[in-house]
Amino acid sequence: MDVEKTKVESLDIIVTMMEDKPYYGIKYKEVGSDHFCIGYSSYRLDYVLEWKKQYFELVEREAGADQGWIPCSERLPENAMNVIAQFSDGTVTELRYAGNGIFEGIYEYSTRVIIAWMPLPEPYEGE
């Protein structure tokens, strides 16, 4: 029996601790949705990985789609990624995400003062 896969633009395995045991789940965002869902959870990682393969299709966003600002509370950049960051006071600057909730520039900043980020635009390619 073929199952119609859910098309998603974001798909991650997340881990929470339940009574000192890891509990795995799938965090996903369906194409066109404005929110994330968490489901397909188990104490067995092999089950979750199989469900990920069986029930989801990860699709790329349309080329040139404007991603806009991504709240830090929603997700953080990949480690060592240069981004445009917005501080809680509205200031915007380019910083590098170091990982563990830390952005680097002249000084180090945490996600307590940086509220959102966006990827750097593609470089201009002249004629």
Q: How far apart are CA 7 and CA 20, in angstroms?
A: 33
* Predicted local confidence at residue 33, as pLDDT: 79
Q: How far apart are CA 26 and CA 42, in angstroms?
A: 10
**At CA 62, angle to CA 78 and CA 101, rounded to 5?**
15
Report, as an integer, the average pLDDT of 64-86: 83
Top-confidence residue, 41 or 32: 41
**Structure tokens given for 18:** 């339940």
Portion of the chain with pLDDT greater than 70, in percent: 93
> How do beta strands 81-87 and 92-99 pair?
antiparallel
Residue 35: closest CA among 85, 79, 84, 75: 75
* Predicted local confidence at residue 5, as pLDDT: 92
Per-residue pLDDT of 1-39, as tens digits, reads: 678 999 998 888 999 998 899 999 999 988 887 788 999
Contact between residue 39 and residue 25 where contact means Cβ atoms under 8 Å apart? yes
Instruction: Write down the residue that tokens 């240069």 correspond to.
Output: 82
Bridge partners of 57, per DSSP, are 7
* Predicted local confidence at residue 41, as pLDDT: 95
Report, as an integer, the average pLDDT of 64-68: 57
* Predicted local confidence at residue 63, as pLDDT: 43
Top-confidence residue, 123 or 55: 55
Listed in sequence order, the DSSP H helices in 34-87 are: 45-55
Determine the 3-state secondary structure of 41 from DSSP. Answer: strand
